[in-house]
Amino acid sequence: MEIPHNVTARPDTGLYNSKIGIWLFLASEVMLFGGLFSGYIFLRLGADFPWPEHMLDVTKGCINTAILILSSVTVVMAWSSLKLRNFRHFQIYMSITLLCALGFCVVKAFEYKAKFTHLSCELSNGLVLEGHDNDDKGEGNDIVYKPSRAVFPIETGEIHFLEAVLPSNEKDAEAKAVVSLKVPVASIDGNKIGVYRGDDKKIKVALGNSEIEMIAAKLKGGDEFKIEDEVIEFTDWSELAKVIDAQRDVKKRFLRAENDRRKYAGTVNQATLAGVTAVPKKLSDSLETTTALAGALQKFFSEELTLLVDTKGEPVSIKPSALRNQDFGWTDKGATLRDGTIIEGEYLQKESKLMLAVDGVDLRRLSPTPGEYDPKIMKQRIEASGFAEQFPTIHAAWEEQFAKYEKKEAEGDHVTSKELYYAKYHGEHGDHAEGHDAGHGESHAAGESLERDFDSHGLPIYEIDRADVRFLSTFTPRLNTYYATYFLITGLHALHVIGGAIVLAYFLFTGRKMYKENPEHLANRVEVGGLFWHFVDLVWIFLFPVLYLL
Amino acid sequence: MAHSTTATEAHTDEHHHDHHDDHNPGFVQKYIFSTDHKMIGIQYGITALCFMLFGFFLMMVMRWSIAYPNQPMPEWLTMFMPEDFLNRWMPVAESTGGRVVDGQVYNMFGAMHGTIMVFLAVVPLGFGAFGNFVTPLQIGAPDMAFPKLNMMSYWIYFLGGVLMFASFFLPTGAASTGWTFYPPLGVLTDYFVGSPWLTGQTWWLLGLVLLITSSLLGSVNVITTIINLRAKGMTWMRMPFFVWGMLVTAFLLLLAFPPLEVAGLMQLSDRVFGSSFFLPTGLSANNEVVNISGGGSPLLYQHLFWFLGHPEVYVLLLPAISIVAEIIPNNTRKPLWGYKSMVYGVLVLGFLSFIVWAHHMYLTGMGSAISTFFQTTTVLISIPSVILLTAMLISLWGGSIRFTVPMLWACAFLPMFGFGGLTGLPLAFNLTDLYLHDTYYVIGHFHYVVAPGVIFGLFAGIYYWYPKATGRQMNTFLGHLHFWPSLIAINVVFMPMMVQGIAGFHRRWYNGGISYEHTAEYLWLNEVISWAVWALAIFQLPFIINFFVSAFFGKKVTSDNPWNATTLEWATPTPPGHGNFTFEPIVYRGPYEYSVPGADKDYTPQWEAPKKDTPKDVVKPDTQAESDEPKA
Amino acid sequence: MASDSPEAIRKSIKLYIIIGAGLLVLTALTVAVSYVHFGSHSMNVAVGLLIACIKASLVGAIFMHLNHEKRLIYIFLVLAGVLFVALMGLFIFSLLDIPGQNLFGY
């Protein structure tokens, strides 16, 4: 069976099937990117922060625009070659198109990579510094503690975040960290119930349904059972995870028993209040049993698990994104991780300090209302923030720029808030060493320069106390809705480029056979693939100005 | 040919490029990775019916919790759930000795009931199953325009469904933030966990993206097929109304789904990459400010979601209404009244459905100008809806109606859908909507449209085209046993909801508590509704039995056109083979030429050539086809 | 289909190259005008988008052959276009209509 109009056009519509198909698909794509652009505009119009403008690498964007335009020309030439029945030319043009696609992706990859390593650091006074982490340890933006305890909320039941923080112990080597947990263990008739380490050194979890039923039965029988605390040491985190799972189950059981107890108690109370003197036997029995069970389970259950952490003096470092909140989520006594785990210990201020090689500053967040930047008030705010004293090199660079644009404004030229209050610093090469030889003080008072050194590009390195950082992020979707939109739209667009390139490559490498059988069919396919390719180009034509320029 | 050995099959496969006209595919190719539109339609249909049953079951559990708060579930509900799942989510409580539905489970089931019913059951059944099975037959095409895309469309849908279903067994359980998935709740639920990828919330979003992809492929296919693969003589105005319905539905899917995909991707990014598309500045959860930049807008999500959400209503509705439009003329034995106005009506309806979405958002504090705009368009859209409904009601007038089982369902569809539509009017106006928003009135309204409306229409379609798909009739007695109790039960389910809703019963209440006091006088209705739901469930058993048993033991149809219908699908052999038609179908007339004055029978099929001056013997289409040698 | 004949295609190859070059020039122009101020930011956006629209229509009309396409395709595109405008327009409308909202503030 042959589907009609696969190759030849249907006379009344004048179109073959896949051409209708691709145009319908493109109509759908119009709505997809239309939705993305509409979302962008919605977020931009409603933004409560200074919207980043002209922030991307225009050169790279320009190169990519040119690459896509070139590839659009070559793909249409490839189609024309097929129509003129010149397979050799088709191969050449299609190869150029694919090389363009590759080039586009490479440029994009470089652009993304630059963003992933670039930091934006909002200080608690509203200054926003941009730069690179200049710590030799490589994990310079982590917050570092010497841990003593970890408090684990049972609800989460996953130790993912705790595990990420603790050093991983290797098998058959000396443990780098030991966690110990105090848990109650009951013994009834020689059976142990609870979590304990067996004689074979393996962790035993005996807290399942059958054990709890046993407890309940013993309680009903009026038996006593002895409970002792046991301290279990863990070096294998998967064992710890198992125990935590068991503890979570107990918590659920306890909460239910407790709920039951309250319900029965309520019913008994109501009965008493209503003047029923003889409370039904069954009810009071149930009350007794559940009360006893709730009491017994409470011994096995605590609101949270407290783990004693011993890392042999080694500090642990916590990534900013793993914190529940960067501003309030940690103190000098401990930090709360995203899942609610609290790491307690001694905060190591020196190790936690952010060494930021600063290459830009945004002062607009000093204003509480985005869009209102009265120069007089802004100057006061900048002065009050201690910008000049703490970040002298960057301040000097900004001041120079500000003076230039202030003058321009006085001459009646239009000046944007970005030109006035956002400054990039490209570094001084050469003689900076003696010019800005900054002190290496251990501590500093407010207002003292934080400048410590210069990196190889001549960018000043500032030592920033973590307590002064409100929000720290790389230039990823986390940073703000602009970058989130940027990554989403360009990411989807890049996926379209890759998808389109795969299809075109398929035509190029397998087209010869079809060309020999039915060249028109191949030409149609290339036309359809080319239409998609042009659409991808067309989207970029809008993306480029919207994201890079406006 | 059916008894070819595996050796010859392998042989055929090797020479696949030779374009065998009468190729004999293996089991996998024929039943699983089939590219035949009829098999794909049946695959869609069975999968969707399974999901519908599953979604229905979730709701049965929810109804228990509403009617009997804090009471343990009976055995006949728990027996359908795996033990592990029960122990994890609904463990036996000491006090009651049974399993009680708690808020988390209720939310999970509620969210998944909506999602499954809308995205995995009704749309795939209406558009996927009927659209695939019937459309190419009705326009006289050998298959869909892109058979391989068609297969991909089904399997992507299947994968999305599996993902949604599997999420029930994740540690966090399935998504629990309503089928609308509003942020910030949708983002922040199960947000503070180790791996956001392994949560039901995230799998819901991933599943949604797959389902959107699937329906995109499906809609491109359907539109292209309708435009380019119509048989000779099948002009636009000779197309059966069902095909028009499918065309408009496909356009709705094609153009309305992408913004939802945008919303889904943005929410996915919020959940796993820490962005703030939908999270405003200063957002706090668990009394702590969340570690995000903020600056996003929850309203953006609602706009993007409802831009799909409202056309989606018509995606649900149009297949059903178009099925009914096929069945009514066939069983009244007279043409569809106002065919042309129905066609224009459905086109206008399709277009208007794109610009009414914000009537779901009156409560978000929108300004009066925009609110007026959306009220106006919402009221406008009732005009084409009423045209469709009225045309079909008038079609009944003066007909010699055959009350076959499909006709019963079709007849029930009309008042039920009408009622659903009319109860929507108070929700179209800002003033009344503010009061009724999120009450059981809303639930009652849209369920009247979707359950006794759309699903009755789809049942009609199943009973109507079953003989064509299987070659056997469904049992009429079981059909009646399915229809009458269902009709009564479903009204007992949804009518009291209107009453409760006006009294202020909130749609998210699940187990009593202090909030129930608010509507204390109407609580007894909860039990009525719940028992009606369970009765409804029982009376689906005749259908399930009928559906499977009739496929093997049903009465064989004696003719290719058992209903004496006029449209092209009845010109094919029963069941239609690969390539559908055994002759080249040529269309000579409009789709509903019933009881044409002067004709020798009360229906004149579209494919029957007009009689010449000297009438020959009436040649049956199939015998005529056999006399023609199939083309090489 | 006259436009698909070999002669017509040979002729249009030259056109493709000219349009390609034109697009590159317009790209340079977009970048250049983004550094010029046209009175207000909205004006700049308008100019930038205008050039983008010109570029897009060139790609659409010449490369995608929309200058001589079948009626059906125009119908699809007009439909998608209208709905896109409705989507974006109503989004903006709904933002502007929130009382007390200060937009375009900066």
Contact check, Cβ <8 Å, A21/B224 = yes
Contact check, Cβ <8 Å, C94/B365 = no
Per mean pLDDT, which range of A529-533, B85-89, B323-327 is the poorest?
B85-89
C-alpha B519/C-alpha B496 separation (Å) is 13
Per-residue pLDDT tens for A486-541? Answer: 999 999 999 999 999 999 999 999 999 999 999 999 999 999 999 999 999 999 99
C-alpha B308/C-alpha B305 separation (Å) is 6
Instruction: Show residues of chain C in contact with A57, CB under 8 Å.
Output: none
**C-alpha distance from residue A508 to each of A21, A91, B254, B366, C83 (Å):** 21, 6, 30, 53, 36
C-alpha B26/C-alpha B10 separation (Å) is 9
C-alpha B580/C-alpha B136 separation (Å) is 9
Chain C interface, mutation test: which of B366, B368, B372, most C Cβ atoms within 10 Å?
A: B366
Instruction: Show residues of chain A in contact with C64, CB under 8 Å.
Output: 531, 534-535, 538
B361, closest residue in chain C (CA to CA): C94
pLDDT higher for A46 or A172?
A46
Specify the CATH superfamily of domain B340-398+406-556.
Cytochrome c oxidase-like, subunit I domain (1.20.210.10)
Chain C interface, mutation test: which of A76, A96, A405, A422, most C Cβ atoms within 10 Å?
A: A76
Instruction: Show residues of chain B in contact with A38, CB under 8 Å.
Output: 259, 304
**pLDDT over 90 (residue B57):** yes
Compute the average pLDDT of residues A232-249: 83
Our CA-based measurement puts residue B85 at a distance from the nearest CA of chain C, in whole angstroms, of: 43
pLDDT at B23: 59
Our CA-based measurement puts residue B289 at a distance from the nearest CA of chain C, in whole angstroms, of: 24
Is residue C99 a contact partner of residue B367, using CB atoms and an 8 Å limit? yes
pLDDT at B38: 95
A31, closest residue in chain C (CA to CA): C84
Is B33 part of the contact surface with chain C (CB cutoff 8 Å)?
no
**pLDDT over 50 (residue B295):** yes
- Residue C3 DSSP class: G
C-alpha B44/C-alpha B160 separation (Å) is 13
pLDDT at B623: 40
Per-residue pLDDT tens for B33-44? Answer: 999 999 999 999
Per-residue pLDDT tens for B198-209? Answer: 899 999 999 999
Per mean pLDDT, which range of A40-49, A462-471, B250-259 is the poorest?
A462-471
Tell me the two tokens of residue A247. 């503890």
- Cis peptide leading into residue B136 (ω within 30°): no
Contact check, Cβ <8 Å, A326/B143 = no
Q: Which of A36, A93, A87 is nearest to A70 (CA)?
A: A93
Contact check, Cβ <8 Å, A31/B229 = no
Please report all neighbours of C, defined by 3+ CB atom pairs within 8 A: A, B
pLDDT band at A409 (very low <50, low <70, confident <90, very high): confident
pLDDT at A191: 78
C-alpha A402/C-alpha A267 separation (Å) is 75
C-alpha A167/C-alpha A310 separation (Å) is 11
Is A34 part of the contact surface with chain B (CB cutoff 8 Å)?
yes
Dmax of chain B from CA atoms?
A: 89
- Residue B557 DSSP class: P
SS3 assignment, position B479? helix
**pLDDT over 80 (residue A208):** no
SS3 assignment, position A223? coil
For a pLDDT cut of 70, what percent of chain A falls above it?
93
Q: Which of A124, A113, A53, A141 is nearest to A357 (CA)?
A: A141
**pLDDT over 50 (residue A233):** yes
pLDDT at C103: 54
pLDDT band at B20 (very low <50, low <70, confident <90, very high): very low
Dmax of chain A from CA atoms?
A: 104
Tell me how many degrees the CA angle A263-A266-A268 measures, rounded to the nearest 5. Answer: 110
Contact check, Cβ <8 Å, A41/C52 = no
**pLDDT over 70 (residue B336):** yes
Chains B & C: contacts with CB separation below 8 Å: 36
Our CA-based measurement puts residue C98 at a distance from the nearest CA of chain A, in whole angstroms, of: 11
Is B538 part of the contact surface with chain C (CB cutoff 8 Å)?
no
B374, closest residue in chain C (CA to CA): C90
Contact check, Cβ <8 Å, A14/C79 = no
pLDDT band at B184 (very low <50, low <70, confident <90, very high): very high
C85, closest residue in chain B (CA to CA): B355
Is B425 part of the contact surface with chain C (CB cutoff 8 Å)?
no
Tell me the two tokens of residue A403. 């003076």
Q: Which DSSP string do the residues of B177-242 spell out, in sequence order?
A: STTTT-TTHHHHTT-SSS-GGGSHHHHHHHHHHHHHHHHHHHHHHHHHHHHH-PPBT--GGGS-HH
Compute the average pLDDT of residues B65-92: 89
- Same fold across B34-283+292-296 and B340-398+406-556: yes
C-alpha B446/C-alpha B452 separation (Å) is 10
pLDDT band at B613 (very low <50, low <70, confident <90, very high): low
Which residue in the block uniquely carries the two structure tokens 């998944």? B112
Compute the average pLDDT of residues A288-293: 80
pLDDT at A136: 62
**C-alpha distance from residue B547 to each of A316, B459, B559 (Å):** 63, 11, 20
Tell me the two tokens of residue A25. 């698909």
β-pairing, A178-188 vs B288-289, is: unpaired
> Mean pLDDT across chain B, nearest whole number?
89
> Mean pLDDT across chain A, nearest whole number?
85
> Mean pLDDT across chain C, nearest whole number?
87
Per-residue pLDDT tens for A304-354? Answer: 778 888 888 788 888 887 887 777 777 888 888 877 888 888 888 888 888
Domain B34-283+292-296, what fold? Cytochrome C Oxidase; Chain A (1.20.210)
Work out the end-to-end distance of chain A between its first and last CA atoms, rounded to an integer number of angstroms: 54
- Residue B130 DSSP class: I
Cα A430 to its chain centre, rounded Å, is: 38
Chain A interface, mutation test: which of C11, C59, C93, most A Cβ atoms within 10 Å?
A: C59
Compute the average pLDDT of residues A204-231: 77
C-alpha C85/C-alpha B339 separation (Å) is 31
**pLDDT over 70 (residue B616):** no
Per-residue pLDDT tens for A142-165? Answer: 888 888 888 887 766 677 788 888
Q: Which DSSP string do the residues of B490-523 spell out, in sequence order?
A: HHHHHHHHHHHHHHT-BTT--S-SGGGGGGGGGT
Instruction: Show residues of chain A in contact with B578, CB under 8 Å.
Output: 1
Contact check, Cβ <8 Å, C9/A80 = yes
pLDDT band at B2 (very low <50, low <70, confident <90, very high): very low
Nearby residues of C104 by Cβ (< 8 Å), 6 or more positions away: A45, C41, C42
Instruction: Show residues of chain A in contact with C104, CB under 8 Å.
Output: 45
Specify the CATH superfamily of domain A17-118+479-549.
Cytochrome c oxidase, subunit III, four-helix bundle (1.20.120.80)
C-alpha C45/C-alpha C56 separation (Å) is 16
Q: What is the ipTM for the molecules in this complex?
A: 0.93
Q: Residue C76: which of A14, A24, A76 has the nearest Cβ? A: A24
C58, closest residue in chain A (CA to CA): A538
Our CA-based measurement puts residue C103 at a distance from the nearest CA of chain A, in whole angstroms, of: 6
User: Which amino acid is it at A126?
Assistant: G
Instruction: Show residues of chain B in contact with A10, CB under 8 Å.
Output: 228
Q: Which secondary-structure segment (H or E) carries A356? A: strand A354-362
Outline which parts of chain A fall under CATH 1.20.120.80: 17-118+479-549
Contact check, Cβ <8 Å, C83/B354 = yes
pLDDT at B481: 97
A326, closest residue in chain B (CA to CA): B291
Q: Residue A30: which of C27, C80, C91 has the nearest Cβ? A: C80
For a pLDDT cut of 70, what percent of chain B falls above it?
92
**pLDDT over 60 (residue B131):** yes
Is B363 part of the contact surface with chain C (CB cutoff 8 Å)?
no
**C-alpha distance from residue B336 to each of A239, B349, B533, B568, B592 (Å):** 71, 19, 35, 16, 6
Is residue B329 a contact partner of residue B462, using CB atoms and an 8 Å limit? no
Query: Taking the domains of chain C in order of start, what are their residue ranges?
Result: 2-69, 70-106
pLDDT higher for B517 or A495?
A495
Per mean pLDDT, which range of A91-100, A178-187, B526-535 is the poorest?
A178-187
**C-alpha distance from residue B513 to each of A67, B491, B516 (Å):** 65, 27, 6
pLDDT at A450: 79
Chain B interface, mutation test: which of A481, A483, A517, A532, most B Cβ atoms within 10 Å?
A: A481
Q: Residue A256: which of B94, B171, B579 has the nearest Cβ? A: B94
- Cis peptide leading into residue B184 (ω within 30°): yes
Exposure on the CB side of residue C21, measured as CA atoms within 13 A:
5
Tell me the two tokens of residue A56. 């991307």
Per mean pLDDT, which range of A220-224, A395-399, B268-272, B393-397 is the poorest?
A220-224
Contact check, Cβ <8 Å, C4/A41 = no
Instruction: Show residues of chain C in contact with A51, CB under 8 Å.
Output: 106
Torsion, CA A134, CA A135, CA A138, CA A140, rounded to 10: -100
- Cis peptide leading into residue B575 (ω within 30°): yes
**pLDDT over 70 (residue A137):** no
**pLDDT over 90 (residue A168):** no
Per-residue pLDDT tens for B278-290? Answer: 999 988 887 778 8
Q: Which of B152, B160, B176 is nearest to B212 (CA)?
A: B160
Per mean pLDDT, which range of A135-139, A439-443, A490-494, C20-24 is the poorest?
A439-443
**pLDDT over 70 (residue A277):** no
C-alpha A157/C-alpha A304 separation (Å) is 11
C-alpha B248/C-alpha B383 separation (Å) is 17
pLDDT at A205: 83
- Residue B232 DSSP class: B
Is residue B240 a contact partner of residue B131, using CB atoms and an 8 Å limit? no
pLDDT band at B622 (very low <50, low <70, confident <90, very high): very low
Compute the average pLDDT of residues B290-314: 92
Please report all neighbours of A, defined by 3+ CB atom pairs within 8 A: B, C
Is A478 part of the contact surface with chain B (CB cutoff 8 Å)?
yes
Contact check, Cβ <8 Å, C49/A77 = no
Instruction: Show residues of chain C in contact with B369, CB under 8 Å.
Output: 93, 97
Chain A interface, mutation test: which of B152, B266, B289, most A Cβ atoms within 10 Å?
A: B266
Is residue A40 a contact partner of residue A76, using CB atoms and an 8 Å limit? no
pLDDT band at B338 (very low <50, low <70, confident <90, very high): very high
Contact check, Cβ <8 Å, A538/C60 = yes
Query: Taking the domains of chain B in order of start, what are their residue ranges?
Result: 34-283+292-296, 340-398+406-556, 574-632
